[in-house]
Amino acid sequence: QSALTQPASVSGSPGQSITISCTGISTDIGAEDLVSWYQHHPDKTPKLLIYDVNKWPSGVSSRFSGSKSGNTASLTISALQAEDEAVYYCCSFVLPRSWVFGGGTKVTVL
């Protein structure tokens, strides 16, 4: 199972919106609505931001939103803030019964 494809880096200025793509295939992202996104700051544990493509866990800001079209999922961060600077990972369920992460996208706030 190959990792999902994410851009290595994305940048934006404070207040702007950015979108991170995550491309898979028909047996992972395209198969089920089981895509999640994680924020990972250095020396911290990853944090769940989005699950089931576009749902928020309790306590996560609505500035983070998710979507999916075909074999590609996306995470949009609105009103970018300095604290959003981190590495972001997508993750998808893979038929029949495993999971795969994307390679990670480093977000830089200019």
Backbone angles phi, psi at 68, to 5 degrees: -150, 140
Look up residue 19 and give its amino acid.
T
Instruction: Kindly indicate which of the ranges 17-25, 49-57, 66-74, 77-85 contains the residues binding other proteins, using the contact rule CB under 8 A.
Output: 49-57
Handedness of CA 106, 42, 47, 108 (dihedral sign): negative
Question: Binding of other proteins at residue 51 (CB under 8 A)?
Answer: yes
Nearest distance from C-beta of residue 72 to other proteins, angstroms: 18
Question: Binding of other proteins at residue 102 (CB under 8 A)?
Answer: yes
Q: Which is nearer to other proteins, 24 or 102 (CB)?
A: 102
Nearest distance from C-beta of residue 14 to other proteins, angstroms: 26
Buried b (16+ CB within 10 A) or exposed e, 58-95: eebeeebbbebeebbbbbebbebeeebbbbbbbbbbbe
Which residues are near other proteins by CB under 8 A? 1, 3, 34, 36, 38, 40, 45-46, 48, 51-52, 57, 87, 89, 91, 93, 97-104
